[in-house]
């Protein structure tokens, strides 16, 4: 690892960092948008989840996870199933999945309309039951229920961005079906703390306000970028009461909103650790002073002329 970190040619650029951030947010949106990735029950997981192609004959670096919604309780009426494919190898891999032969899968709308052009090369061949995924990629394929369309819902890179010169009504209609999302860097804070809040799915150029509830308090406002994304540094008011709160992003023109839970902790919880550290430092200082005095006394006794 050290040679790689020391190689100046591998220093990430601002674009690289932005891409990594976008890809991380995209994975979070995939989880949020697909209920089959959030089964929430051990029984449902045992019933619906399998790992085809695993075992001694598994392709090196490849993991397949199938969530079959045709088995048991229907969790997502819009989907018959979901296939998550992880390829950690340096090469593209084609893997036949016999248990899914004849079923129709397609790349999730979030990835199909996203910014990662590499993962868009993922393919599914229904006739042979074969999935092909590029090197070092994670792809989520879904099997829509007959008659159900998979609505593109990638708020970071919309397929049809709104025209800045369009009327408010037309602009609102263009984004009415785009899901809003809000991700907090921390959801447990103390009054006065600063966190990062990232919102997606807003209209490009639109003013977005950040509010703290229960007692509505306007914290900060900003403008969504060309991708409909906004990142704000939010300071929790020093007067915020201890307990459960909600951080809410509001689009001023359309009044669309998205919220995330936020817990304000008691200051005592934070002071406990601080006091403990101070006591340890104080004890260490006392010990150091005592040791210095002992060494000095020994030196004086050693240096004193003997009679």
The pLDDT tens digits for 150-189 are 544 333 333 333 333 344 444 444 455 578 999 988 888 9
Low-confidence ranges of the chain (pLDDT < 70): 147-177, 268-307
Torsion of CA 257, 258, 260, 261, to 10 degrees: 40
Distances from the Cα of 262 to the Cα of 137, 185, 242, angstroms: 33, 11, 11
Look at residues 28, 24, 74, 30 and name the one whose alpha carbon lies nearest to residue 48: 74
Distances from the Cα of 34 to the Cα of 77, 80, 116, 220, angstroms: 11, 12, 19, 31
Residues in CB range of 133: below 8 A, 6 or more apart: 62, 85, 87, 92, 93, 119, 122, 139
pLDDT tens-place string over residues 141-160 = 999 987 555 544 333 333 33
How many Cα atoms occupy the beta-carbon half-sphere of 6 within 13 Å? 3
Give the pLDDT confidence score for residue 108 in this predicted structure. 92
Give the pLDDT confidence score for residue 46 in this predicted structure. 92
Give the pLDDT confidence score for residue 307 in this predicted structure. 55
Distances from the Cα of 229 to the Cα of 5, 154, 203, 237, angstroms: 31, 11, 8, 24
Give the pLDDT confidence score for residue 306 in this predicted structure. 55
| Beta carbons of 88 and 59 less than 8 angstroms apart | no
Torsion of CA 75, 149, 83, 104, to 10 degrees: 120
**What is the reported pTM?**
0.51
Give the pLDDT confidence score for residue 147 in this predicted structure. 55
3-state secondary structure 118-130: CHHHCEEECCCCE
Give the pLDDT confidence score for residue 68 in this predicted structure. 95
- The 3-state DSSP composition of the chain as helix, strand, coil percent (nearest 5) reads 30, 30, 40
Give the pLDDT confidence score for residue 157 in this predicted structure. 38
Distances from the Cα of 245 to the Cα of 21, 236, 259, angstroms: 26, 11, 10
The torsion region of residue 74 among left (phi > 0), alpha (psi -120 to 50) and beta comes to beta
d(CA 146, CA 133): 25
């Amino acid at each position: 690892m050290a040679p790689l970190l020391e190689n100046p040619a591998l220093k990430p650029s601002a674009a690289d960092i932005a891409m990594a951030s976008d890809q991380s947010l995209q994975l979070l949106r995939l989880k949020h948008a697909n209920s089959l990735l959030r089964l929430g029950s051990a029984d449902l997981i045992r019933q619906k989840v399998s790992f085809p192609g695993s075992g001694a004959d598994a392709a090196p670096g490849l993991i397949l996870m199938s969530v079959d919604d045709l088995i048991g309780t229907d969790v997502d009426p819009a989907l018959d199933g979901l296939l998550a494919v992880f390829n950690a190898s340096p090469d593209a891999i084609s893997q036949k999945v016999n248990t899914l032969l004849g079923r129709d899968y397609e790349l999730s709308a979030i990835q199909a309309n996203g910014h990662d052009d590499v993962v868009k090369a993922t393919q599914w061949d229904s006739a042979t039951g074969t999935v092909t995924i590029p090197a070092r990629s994670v792809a989520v394929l879904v099997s829509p229920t007959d008659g159900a369309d998979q609505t593109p819902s990638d708020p970071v890179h919309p397929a049809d961005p709104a025209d800045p010169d369009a009327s408010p009504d037309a602009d609102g209609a263009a984004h009415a079906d785009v899901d809003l999302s809000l991700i907090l860097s921390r959801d447990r804070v103390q009054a006065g703390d600063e966190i990062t809040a990232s919102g997606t799915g807003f209209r490009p150029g639109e003013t977005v306000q950040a509010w703290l509830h229960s007692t509505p308090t306007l914290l900060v406002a900003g403008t969504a970028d060309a991708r409909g994304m906004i990142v704000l540094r939010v300071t929790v008011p020093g007067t915020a009461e201890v307990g459960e709160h909600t951080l809410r992003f509001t689009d001023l023109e359309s009044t669309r909103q998205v919220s995330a839970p936020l817990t304000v902790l008691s200051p005592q919880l934070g002071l406990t650790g601080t006091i403990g550290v101070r006591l340890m430092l104080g004890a260490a200082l006392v010990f150091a002073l005592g040791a210095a005095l002992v060494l000095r006394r020994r030196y004086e006794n050693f240096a004193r002329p003997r009679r």
